A = this chain, B = another copy of it.
Amino acid sequence: MRPIVLATDYGPTGAYVGQLKSAIYSIAPEAKVIDLVHELPAMNPRASAYVLASLLEHIPEQSVVVGVVDPGVGSDRAPVVLEGDGYTFTGPDNGLFSIVSRKLSEIGLFEILLSKEPISKTFHGRDIFAPVAAQIVSGSRPDLKPVPVTVLDGTEWPDSLNEVIHIDHFGNGLTGILFHSSSINQVLRVNGQGIRYAEAFYCVHKGEGFWYCNSNNLVEIAVNGGSAAEKFQLSIGDKIILN
Protein backbone atom coordinates (compact mmCIF):
# COMPACT_ATOMS: atom_id res chain seq x y z
CA MET A 1 0.00 0.00 0.00
CA ARG A 2 1.31 3.46 -0.91
CA PRO A 3 2.22 5.68 2.07
CA ILE A 4 0.30 8.88 2.83
CA VAL A 5 2.49 11.90 3.57
CA LEU A 6 1.07 14.97 5.33
CA ALA A 7 2.38 18.49 4.63
CA THR A 8 0.30 21.27 6.19
CA ASP A 9 0.39 24.57 8.06
CA TYR A 10 -1.84 23.16 10.83
CA GLY A 11 0.85 23.23 13.50
CA PRO A 12 1.51 20.16 15.56
CA THR A 13 -0.57 21.10 18.52
CA GLY A 14 -4.27 21.29 17.83
CA ALA A 15 -6.73 18.73 16.60
CA TYR A 16 -6.39 19.53 12.89
CA VAL A 17 -3.73 16.93 12.20
CA GLY A 18 -5.51 14.47 14.48
CA GLN A 19 -8.72 14.84 12.52
CA LEU A 20 -6.85 14.31 9.23
CA LYS A 21 -5.48 11.07 10.60
CA SER A 22 -8.86 10.01 11.95
CA ALA A 23 -10.45 10.65 8.54
CA ILE A 24 -7.74 8.57 6.86
CA TYR A 25 -8.08 5.79 9.43
CA SER A 26 -11.83 5.58 8.95
CA ILE A 27 -11.33 4.86 5.22
CA ALA A 28 -7.96 3.12 5.16
CA PRO A 29 -7.11 1.76 8.62
CA GLU A 30 -4.01 -0.02 7.34
CA ALA A 31 -2.51 3.06 5.68
CA LYS A 32 0.93 4.22 6.79
CA VAL A 33 0.82 7.95 7.50
CA ILE A 34 4.00 10.06 7.68
CA ASP A 35 3.94 13.57 9.16
CA LEU A 36 6.39 15.30 6.84
CA VAL A 37 5.78 18.87 8.01
CA HIS A 38 2.98 20.73 9.80
CA GLU A 39 4.73 24.10 9.98
CA LEU A 40 4.50 25.17 6.39
CA PRO A 41 4.29 28.99 6.43
CA ALA A 42 0.82 29.62 7.87
CA MET A 43 -1.82 30.85 5.43
CA ASN A 44 0.94 31.45 2.85
CA PRO A 45 0.67 29.09 -0.14
CA ARG A 46 3.44 30.93 -2.02
CA ALA A 47 6.17 30.53 0.60
CA SER A 48 4.87 27.03 1.36
CA ALA A 49 5.21 26.04 -2.29
CA TYR A 50 8.98 26.54 -2.11
CA VAL A 51 9.34 24.66 1.18
CA LEU A 52 7.33 21.74 -0.17
CA ALA A 53 9.32 21.58 -3.41
CA SER A 54 12.60 21.54 -1.47
CA LEU A 55 11.43 18.42 0.38
CA LEU A 56 10.42 16.43 -2.73
CA GLU A 57 13.69 14.55 -2.99
CA HIS A 58 13.17 13.12 0.49
CA ILE A 59 9.54 12.09 0.16
CA PRO A 60 9.30 8.30 -0.22
CA GLU A 61 8.59 7.07 -3.75
CA GLN A 62 4.96 6.40 -4.61
CA SER A 63 3.74 8.63 -1.78
CA VAL A 64 0.30 10.21 -1.81
CA VAL A 65 0.93 13.68 -0.37
CA VAL A 66 -1.86 15.59 1.36
CA GLY A 67 -0.74 19.22 1.03
CA VAL A 68 -2.86 21.80 2.78
CA VAL A 69 -2.17 25.52 3.17
CA ASP A 70 -5.57 26.89 2.37
CA PRO A 71 -6.49 30.43 3.38
CA GLY A 72 -9.15 30.48 0.66
CA VAL A 73 -10.90 27.35 1.92
CA GLY A 74 -14.57 27.38 0.98
CA SER A 75 -14.09 29.84 -1.91
CA ASP A 76 -14.01 28.83 -5.58
CA ARG A 77 -10.35 27.74 -5.67
CA ALA A 78 -10.43 24.18 -6.99
CA PRO A 79 -9.61 21.04 -5.02
CA VAL A 80 -7.11 19.12 -7.13
CA VAL A 81 -5.06 15.98 -7.58
CA LEU A 82 -1.63 16.29 -9.24
CA GLU A 83 0.23 13.22 -10.45
CA GLY A 84 3.80 12.83 -11.69
CA ASP A 85 6.80 10.51 -11.37
CA GLY A 86 4.80 8.06 -9.27
CA TYR A 87 3.80 10.70 -6.71
CA THR A 88 0.28 11.97 -6.14
CA PHE A 89 -0.45 15.31 -4.47
CA THR A 90 -3.88 16.39 -3.31
CA GLY A 91 -4.84 19.80 -1.94
CA PRO A 92 -6.09 23.22 -2.98
CA ASP A 93 -5.12 24.78 -6.32
CA ASN A 94 -3.75 28.01 -4.91
CA GLY A 95 -0.11 27.77 -5.96
CA LEU A 96 0.96 25.33 -3.25
CA PHE A 97 1.86 22.71 -5.87
CA SER A 98 3.23 25.09 -8.50
CA ILE A 99 6.92 24.76 -7.69
CA VAL A 100 6.86 21.02 -7.02
CA SER A 101 5.04 20.45 -10.31
CA ARG A 102 8.06 21.86 -12.19
CA LYS A 103 10.24 19.10 -10.74
CA LEU A 104 7.90 16.32 -11.92
CA SER A 105 7.66 14.85 -15.39
CA GLU A 106 4.67 13.33 -17.17
CA ILE A 107 2.33 15.18 -14.88
CA GLY A 108 -1.44 15.01 -14.86
CA LEU A 109 -3.86 17.39 -13.16
CA PHE A 110 -7.38 16.57 -12.02
CA GLU A 111 -10.15 18.50 -10.36
CA ILE A 112 -11.85 16.66 -7.50
CA LEU A 113 -15.59 16.40 -8.16
CA LEU A 114 -17.31 16.82 -4.84
CA SER A 115 -19.97 14.40 -3.80
CA LYS A 116 -23.08 15.60 -2.04
CA GLU A 117 -22.07 14.61 1.48
CA PRO A 118 -22.00 17.48 3.97
CA ILE A 119 -18.60 19.13 3.73
CA SER A 120 -17.50 21.84 6.13
CA LYS A 121 -16.78 25.32 4.78
CA THR A 122 -13.45 25.63 6.56
CA PHE A 123 -11.77 22.22 6.87
CA HIS A 124 -11.34 20.66 3.44
CA GLY A 125 -8.19 18.92 4.62
CA ARG A 126 -10.34 16.64 6.77
CA ASP A 127 -13.42 16.55 4.56
CA ILE A 128 -11.90 16.34 1.05
CA PHE A 129 -8.14 15.93 0.76
CA ALA A 130 -7.46 13.32 3.47
CA PRO A 131 -10.40 11.16 2.32
CA VAL A 132 -9.24 11.42 -1.31
CA ALA A 133 -5.74 10.28 -0.30
CA ALA A 134 -7.19 7.41 1.73
CA GLN A 135 -9.34 6.35 -1.22
CA ILE A 136 -6.34 6.42 -3.56
CA VAL A 137 -4.13 4.24 -1.35
CA SER A 138 -7.08 1.88 -0.80
CA GLY A 139 -7.39 1.41 -4.55
CA SER A 140 -10.77 3.08 -4.91
CA ARG A 141 -10.48 5.96 -7.34
CA PRO A 142 -12.18 9.20 -6.24
CA ASP A 143 -14.29 11.06 -8.78
CA LEU A 144 -11.79 13.16 -10.77
CA LYS A 145 -12.03 15.32 -13.91
CA PRO A 146 -8.85 15.77 -15.99
CA VAL A 147 -7.96 19.44 -16.51
CA PRO A 148 -5.07 21.04 -18.45
CA VAL A 149 -1.89 21.30 -16.38
CA THR A 150 -1.49 24.87 -17.59
CA VAL A 151 -4.32 26.02 -15.32
CA LEU A 152 -2.37 25.25 -12.16
CA ASP A 153 -2.12 28.40 -10.03
CA GLY A 154 1.26 30.03 -9.33
CA THR A 155 2.82 29.39 -12.75
CA GLU A 156 4.22 32.95 -12.80
CA TRP A 157 6.28 32.44 -9.62
CA PRO A 158 10.07 32.19 -10.14
CA ASP A 159 12.01 28.93 -9.65
CA SER A 160 14.33 30.62 -7.17
CA LEU A 161 12.72 33.06 -4.71
CA ASN A 162 14.87 35.76 -3.07
CA GLU A 163 12.89 35.83 0.16
CA VAL A 164 12.85 34.27 3.61
CA ILE A 165 10.23 31.51 3.35
CA HIS A 166 10.42 29.75 6.73
CA ILE A 167 11.86 30.14 10.25
CA ASP A 168 12.69 26.78 11.78
CA HIS A 169 12.72 25.49 15.36
CA PHE A 170 16.32 26.69 15.90
CA GLY A 171 15.68 30.15 14.45
CA ASN A 172 17.37 29.40 11.13
CA GLY A 173 15.96 31.43 8.24
CA LEU A 174 15.25 29.35 5.16
CA THR A 175 15.18 31.20 1.83
CA GLY A 176 13.68 30.20 -1.50
CA ILE A 177 17.02 30.70 -3.26
CA LEU A 178 18.37 27.63 -5.06
CA PHE A 179 21.93 27.14 -3.86
CA HIS A 180 23.16 26.27 -7.34
CA SER A 181 22.04 29.73 -8.50
CA SER A 182 24.33 31.37 -5.91
CA SER A 183 28.10 31.66 -5.48
CA ILE A 184 29.86 31.10 -2.17
CA ASN A 185 31.82 34.32 -2.67
CA GLN A 186 28.64 36.35 -2.54
CA VAL A 187 27.52 38.31 0.51
CA LEU A 188 23.88 37.79 1.52
CA ARG A 189 22.10 41.00 2.43
CA VAL A 190 18.93 41.05 4.49
CA ASN A 191 17.41 43.83 6.60
CA GLY A 192 20.47 46.02 5.97
CA GLN A 193 22.96 43.45 7.20
CA GLY A 194 25.63 41.55 5.28
CA ILE A 195 26.28 37.87 5.93
CA ARG A 196 29.09 35.66 4.57
CA TYR A 197 29.05 32.05 3.45
CA ALA A 198 30.29 29.09 5.53
CA GLU A 199 29.93 25.38 4.94
CA ALA A 200 28.43 24.37 8.29
CA PHE A 201 27.81 25.52 11.85
CA TYR A 202 31.12 24.34 13.25
CA CYS A 203 33.01 26.44 10.67
CA VAL A 204 32.18 29.75 12.37
CA HIS A 205 32.54 31.03 15.93
CA LYS A 206 29.77 30.68 18.50
CA GLY A 207 27.25 33.44 18.00
CA GLU A 208 28.44 34.23 14.48
CA GLY A 209 26.01 34.38 11.56
CA PHE A 210 26.55 32.80 8.14
CA TRP A 211 24.68 31.55 5.11
CA TYR A 212 25.03 28.05 3.76
CA CYS A 213 23.56 25.40 1.49
CA ASN A 214 21.01 23.61 3.63
CA SER A 215 20.33 19.89 3.43
CA ASN A 216 17.63 20.49 0.81
CA ASN A 217 19.84 22.63 -1.45
CA LEU A 218 18.34 25.98 -0.53
CA VAL A 219 20.24 28.99 0.81
CA GLU A 220 19.70 29.25 4.58
CA ILE A 221 20.73 31.87 7.15
CA ALA A 222 22.01 30.57 10.49
CA VAL A 223 23.95 31.41 13.65
CA ASN A 224 26.25 28.90 15.34
CA GLY A 225 24.68 28.17 18.72
CA GLY A 226 22.02 30.84 18.33
CA SER A 227 18.96 32.08 16.50
CA ALA A 228 19.38 33.81 13.14
CA ALA A 229 15.76 34.95 13.32
CA GLU A 230 16.62 36.92 16.48
CA LYS A 231 20.05 38.16 15.42
CA PHE A 232 18.91 39.39 12.00
CA GLN A 233 15.22 40.02 12.86
CA LEU A 234 14.08 37.68 10.15
CA SER A 235 10.44 37.31 9.12
CA ILE A 236 8.83 35.34 6.34
CA GLY A 237 8.77 37.51 3.22
CA ASP A 238 11.98 39.45 3.98
CA LYS A 239 13.79 40.26 0.72
CA ILE A 240 17.26 38.80 0.16
CA ILE A 241 20.07 40.12 -2.05
CA LEU A 242 23.13 38.04 -2.90
CA ASN A 243 25.96 40.00 -4.47
> Which residues of A approach B to under 8 Å, CB–CB?
3, 5, 7, 10-19, 21-23, 25-26, 29, 32, 34-39, 42-43, 51, 55, 58-61, 71-75, 120-123, 126-127, 166, 168-170, 199-203, 212-215, 224-225
Contact = CB atoms under 8 A, between A and B. Distances in A.
A169 B225 CA distance: 22
A225 to B, nearest CB: 6
A17 to B, nearest CB: 7
Nearest to A12: B12
B55 A15 contact: yes
User: Which of A3, A12, A203 has the most chain B CB within a 10 Å cutoff?
Assistant: A12
Q: How many copies does the complex hold?
A: 3
A49 to B, nearest CB: 14
A19 B127 contact: no
A44 to B, nearest CB: 9
Contacts of A39: 13-15
B59 A22 contact: yes
Interface of chain A, main secondary structure: loop
A89 to B, nearest CB: 15
Nearest to A3: B25
A29 B14 contact: no
A21 B35 contact: yes
Nearest to A34: B21
A3 B29 contact: yes
B22 A36 contact: yes
Contacts of A7: 18
Given A169-B42, A200-B121, A201-B71, A5 B32 contact: no
A11 B59 contact: no
Contact of A75 (B15, B38, B168, B200): B200
A200 B34 CA distance: 29
